[in-house]
Amino acid sequence: MTEPLVSFVIHLLFGFAFFLRRNLADISWDFSTCGGGLIALALATFLIHRFFTRVAAKVRRYWCFRSTVCLMMLLPVFFGMAFLIPGILLQWSLLDC
């Protein structure tokens, strides 16, 4: 009874690491992929900053660039969570329970 529970907890906590160990070698990436991602992040930061600056001006408030950077730092966190949760569920489904 406790062994499946322990296995579940281990896969819940470290399932993404197991998934990466098995699949990271199959993922191809190069400068164009990373460069394109960084350009898209910079463009999104600029556009979101313009948008929130205009929204804040309409309500007579100030929107600083630091707020935009803090908001944009959530994007990689949510991106990581988008991979983390399915990885955990995949590892859980592969358990022999």
The pLDDT, as a whole number, for residue 65 is: 93
**CB-CB contact of 77 with 41 (8 Å):** no
Sign of the four-CA dihedral 84, 93, 2, 22: negative
Q: Which of 28, 44, 29 is nearest to 78 (CA)?
A: 44
Boundaries of every domain in the chain: 2-93
pLDDT tens-digit readout, 17-39: 777 788 878 877 788 888 988 89
- The residues of the chain scoring below 70 in pLDDT are 1-2, 95-97
Percent of the chain with pLDDT over 90: 36
Find out whether 18 and 33 touch, Cβ atoms under 8 Å.
Answer: no
Q: What is the pTM of this model?
A: 0.58
The confidence score (pLDDT) of residue 22 equals 81
The reported pLDDT for the residue numbered 5 is: 78
| The dihedral sign for the CA sequence 77, 84, 7, 24 | negative
| CA 70 from centroid of its chain's CA atoms | 14
